[in-house]
């Protein structure tokens, strides 16, 4: 049955694996092995390590050739927007990789946490590592270009490669010639689990409030919300 599940995913991404165990290992989270010490395969972190390197090389080569006139710093930001954990998590959800994960009972229940997002992003990199190991560089490249680099034109056209704070600042300066400011409004919770509320201002006008487990996260949240408002 486990083999059938993995075969189903291989068929979904249209790749014929010589050794399905390599692909299966890409879905094995370390928490699963803690509860199943007799499982014949190891966890996916080594494949993740390999896949991360392949992903960086493929995306760098792709952007270098596609955008001949863009400077290195801009290409770095574009690449980061494509290969960061948020984007990899979204693609992982599109591919429904949660259906194939080998997780502990506890991790299986925790579906919407940041930890689950990292598990999905890391699994995506492990899948790339598995494809590279079993099928070679060219097939790994095709997979990356098909699923991970597919939205590059939209990201560049809409400047989504800029972080939310930079996007909001550019918009505010363009519209009002004013640099927005962030002000800490509230701090709560114990030291090990702080919550921060930050206000985003243009001049003295409060545009929105952002919340997060750090001041930086709260500022990013505020800028993200601010980009969606009319002001």
Is the same domain home to 137 and 197? no
Looking at the structure, do residues 133 and 19 belong to the same domain, yes or no?
Answer: yes
Which CATH number fits the domain that encloses residue 187?
3.30.160.20
Q: 179 with 143, same domain?
A: no
Would you name the residues annotated as active-site residues? Answer: 52, 125
Q: Look up the domain containing 99 and give its range.
A: 2-157
Q: Are residues 151 and 168 in the same domain?
A: no
Q: Are residues 117 and 30 in the same domain?
A: yes
pLDDT tens-digit profile of 133-176? 999 999 999 999 999 999 999 999 988 898 899 889 989 999 99
Q: How many domains does the chain have?
A: 2
Q: What mean pLDDT, rounded, does the chain reach?
A: 93
- Based on the domain organization, do 90 and 195 belong to the same domain? no
For 108, half-sphere exposure in the C-beta direction (CA atoms, 13 angstrom radius) is 11
Long-range contacts: 101-109, Cβ < 8 Å, 24+? 101/27, 101/29, 102/27, 102/28, 102/29, 102/32, 102/36, 102/39, 103/29, 103/31, 103/32, 104/29, 104/31, 104/32, 104/34, 104/35, 105/35, 106/31, 107/29, 107/31, 107/32
Closest CA to 84 of 198, 32, 161, 5: 161
- Residue range 184-205, pLDDT digits in tens: 999 999 988 899 999 999 999 9
Report the CATH number at residue 22.
1.10.1520.10
Give tens-digit pLDDT for 21-58: 999 999 999 999 999 999 999 999 999 999 999 999 99
Let me know how long the chain is.
231
Q: What does each C-alpha distance from 27 to 15, 47, 71 come to in angstroms?
A: 16, 10, 37
Percent of the chain residues past pLDDT 90, beyond the cut: 84
pTM of this structure: 0.78
Residues 113 and 147 in one domain: yes
Residues 103, 11 share a domain: yes
DSSP secondary structure of 36-93: -TT-SS--SHHHHHHHHHHHHHHHHHHHHHH-TTS-HHHHHHHHHHHHSHHHHHHHHH
Separation between Cα atoms, residue 49 and residue 222, nearest integer Å = 33
3-state secondary structure of 94: helix
3-state DSSP call for residue 221? Answer: helix
153 and 172 co-located in one domain: no
Check whether residue 29 and residue 64 sit in a common domain.
yes
Decide which of 157, 191, 209 is a domain's last residue: 157
């Amino acid at each position: 049955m486990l083999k059938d599940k993995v075969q189903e995913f291989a068929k979904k991404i249209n790749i014929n694996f010589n050794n399905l165990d390599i692909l299966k290992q890409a879905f094995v989270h370390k928490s699963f092995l803690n509860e199943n010490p007799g499982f014949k395969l190891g966890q996916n972190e080594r494949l993740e390590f390999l896949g991360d390197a392949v992903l960086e090389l493929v995306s760098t080569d792709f952007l270098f050739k596609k955008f001949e006139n863009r400077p290195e710093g801009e290409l770095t930001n574009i690449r980061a927007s494509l290969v960061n954990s948020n984007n990899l998590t979204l693609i992982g959800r599109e591919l429904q990789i949660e259906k194939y994960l080998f997780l502990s009972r506890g991790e299986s229940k925790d579906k919407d946490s940041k930890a689950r997002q990292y598990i999905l992003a890391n699994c995506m990199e492990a899948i790339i590592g598995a494809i590279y190991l079993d099928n070679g560089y060219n097939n790994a490249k095709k997979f990356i270009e098909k699923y991970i680099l597919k939205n590059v034109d939209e990201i560049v056209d809409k400047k989504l490669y800029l972080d939310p704070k930079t996007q909001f600042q550019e918009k505010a300066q363009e519209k009002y010639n004013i640099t927005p400011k962030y002000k800490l409004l509230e701090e709560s919770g114990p030291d090990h689990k702080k919550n921060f509320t930050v206000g985003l201002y243009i001049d003295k006008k409060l545009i929105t409030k952002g919340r997060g487990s750090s001041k930086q996260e709260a500022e990013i949240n505020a800028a993200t919300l601010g980009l969606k408002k009319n002001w």
